[in-house]
Homo-oligomer: A and B are copies of this chain.
Amino acid sequence: MVLPESKDLTHLFSEETNARKPSPLKTCIHLFNDPNIIFLGGGLPMSDYFPWDNLTVDSPLPPFTKGIGAPIDPATNDVLKADLKKNEKLDEGDIPFARALQYGFSAGQPELLKFLREHTTIIHDLQYQDWDVVATTGNTNSWESTLRVFCNKGDVILAEAYSFSSSLAAAQAQGVITFPVPIDEHGIIPSKLANILDNWTPGAPKPKLLYTIPTGQNPTGSSLSDDRKEEIYKIAQKHDFIIIEDEPYYFLQVGKYIKDLKERSNVETEVKPSHEEFLKSLAKTFLSLDTEGRVIRMDSFSKVLAPGSRLGWITGSKRLLKAYVALHEMTIQAPAGFTQALVSSTLNKWGQSGYIDWLICLRHEYLLKRNHAIDALFKYIPESPVFTINPPIAGMFFTVNIDASAHPEFASKFHSDPLKVEQHIYETVVKNGVLVVPGIWFIADGETSPAQPKDSKEVSNPNIIFFRGTYAAVSPEKLDAGLKRLADVLKQEFGFN
């Protein structure tokens, strides 16, 4: 079957993107490799002067039988040594330093991009022809670039009603309005989204983008179900906006929480899934549904390898990616050469199959962490309609919902304001030695001018507040102790002692 070409969505570009002239220096860069031309055009230092050679690093060896957290001990057979040279390639996926540390390849080094394209094909099976990937310095960079590529001051974007605060803040500082879309425990509610757009106030600028974190959403921990993605994609087509799929937690899909320990032990000790089973178990992505290049997917190595790698990539139609590369030539130039060389070398030595092994093992670690956290929450927090524990099926975050109106002093002390209860509980848990984050820090509350109908922002129960915690960063013992402190405060405050 011949796949279709992407649609031209460049009418959604920002004024800045449209004003960005191709640098005249780039018009002659193709002559750099012309053997008939002596190129005195660019200020490239000679690689002879780069003061590094013979870089070696140890990484664990697939299939990571001792687990991904095991120390990397070169005395064992479980270690793979990368050996990177300035002027030669010892291995197919290596990037010689003379190139990795030179200018050029704004979209990323070929060896790395090749791996990422293959990986993308395995995971998403794209439905149109002219897609590609561009390397970035991580999703913070990818999102900021996205805002610059598409949005003018005063433009509107849609976001989950609670979303990653730094992403919202980046938009707001640029004067972009972040309009909230109602969510429930399965993420964005398509009917509500359709309702917002079908009743969009005439004269208000229509949204250009939907910013969403479909898997293990930050902060709610929810995951958008596959059928909702299809509905949302259709709404995007109808109302001509682009879906920005921010997916740092995509591979942390740990599945449903099973409270019953016997039942669970079957799952936890079960043989490692085959690659096929693993791939089948993953959520459908917006990217895989996309037939017209209406989705920009942002992937990151931050949660999968290491945040300080400052490496991620964007997948989308070549038409749209062009604008990112032109912007990056004036911002990041390209991800750091050391990072590209080390990650490319490691991944290419692991191979696509070894990388899937890594992802399977990583997911298993987060499964144990998630279970440990939710077990502790159920153990310490009293069973009551006041508290709702939301076990996530993916990601790093859990939330606890609280009915603030159940606080004994809700009216008397807090003047029936749930946010005052939230702030009070936040301060009290910190005083008691645990930090969880109040939901209000993540609220998307932009409004257009003229404003949207009031019911667009309706919430079912305005007295429900929530706190976000993570099980990513600490040991099981600390996690347990922290959650007990949280529960003790909640019991104390809501009179459960």
Chain A: residues with CB nearer than 8 A to chain B?
A: 15-17, 19-21, 23-25, 28, 31, 36-60, 68-69, 71-72, 74, 86, 97, 100-103, 137-138, 140-141, 144, 153, 165-166, 169-170, 172-175, 218, 302-303, 305-311, 329-339, 342, 346, 358, 362, 365, 396-397, 430, 433-437, 441, 469-474, 478-479, 481-483, 485
Contact = CB atoms under 8 A, between A and B. Distances in A.
Nearest to A397: B43
Given A144-B330, A309-B336, A436 B40 contact: yes
A178 B351 CA distance: 49
A52 B57 contact: yes
Task: Among A25, A333, A473, A481, find the residue whose CB has the most chain B CB atoms closer than 10 A.
Answer: A473
Contacts of A485: 38
A140 B330 contact: yes
23 contacts: A17-B173, A25-B437, A38-B433, A38-B435, A39-B473, A40-B469, A40-B474, A41-B436, A43-B473, A44-B470, A45-B303, A45-B306, A45-B307, A54-B56, A54-B58, A97-B308, A102-B307, A137-B333, A137-B336, A138-B333, A140-B333, A309-B337, A336-B339
A434 B39 CA distance: 6
A271 B309 CA distance: 43
B165 A470 contact: no
Nearest to A365: B49
Q: Which 7 A-B pairs have the closest CB atoms?
A: A308-B337, A38-B482, A101-B308, A101-B306, A336-B336, A48-B69, A53-B72
A329 B166 contact: yes
Contact of A358 (B43, B51, B331, B483): B51
B102 A308 contact: yes
A21 B170 CA distance: 9
A336 B308 contact: yes
A161 to B, nearest CB: 17
Contacts of A74: 54
Contacts of A336: 137, 308-311, 335-336, 338-339
A25 B166 contact: yes
B55 A55 contact: yes
A305 B438 CA distance: 45
Nearest to A361: B49
A69 B42 contact: no
B175 A16 contact: yes
A40 B482 contact: yes
Nearest to A333: B140
B44 A173 contact: no
B54 A57 contact: yes
Contacts of A68: 48-49, 51
Given A19-B173, A101-B307, A433 B138 contact: no
Nearest to A140: B333
Contacts of A45: 302-303, 306-307, 396, 472-473
Contact of A310 (B40, B59, B173, B333): B333
A140 B334 CA distance: 11
Contacts of A138: 333
Contacts of A433: 36-38
B434 A37 contact: yes
A260 to B, nearest CB: 25
A381 B177 CA distance: 60
A331 to B, nearest CB: 5
Contact of A42 (B42, B308, B473): B473
Contacts of A172: 19, 21
Given A28-B437, A72-B52, A331-B144, A38 B474 contact: yes
B308 A23 contact: no
A52 B44 contact: no
A488 to B, nearest CB: 12
Given A19-B172, A308-B101, A56 B56 contact: yes
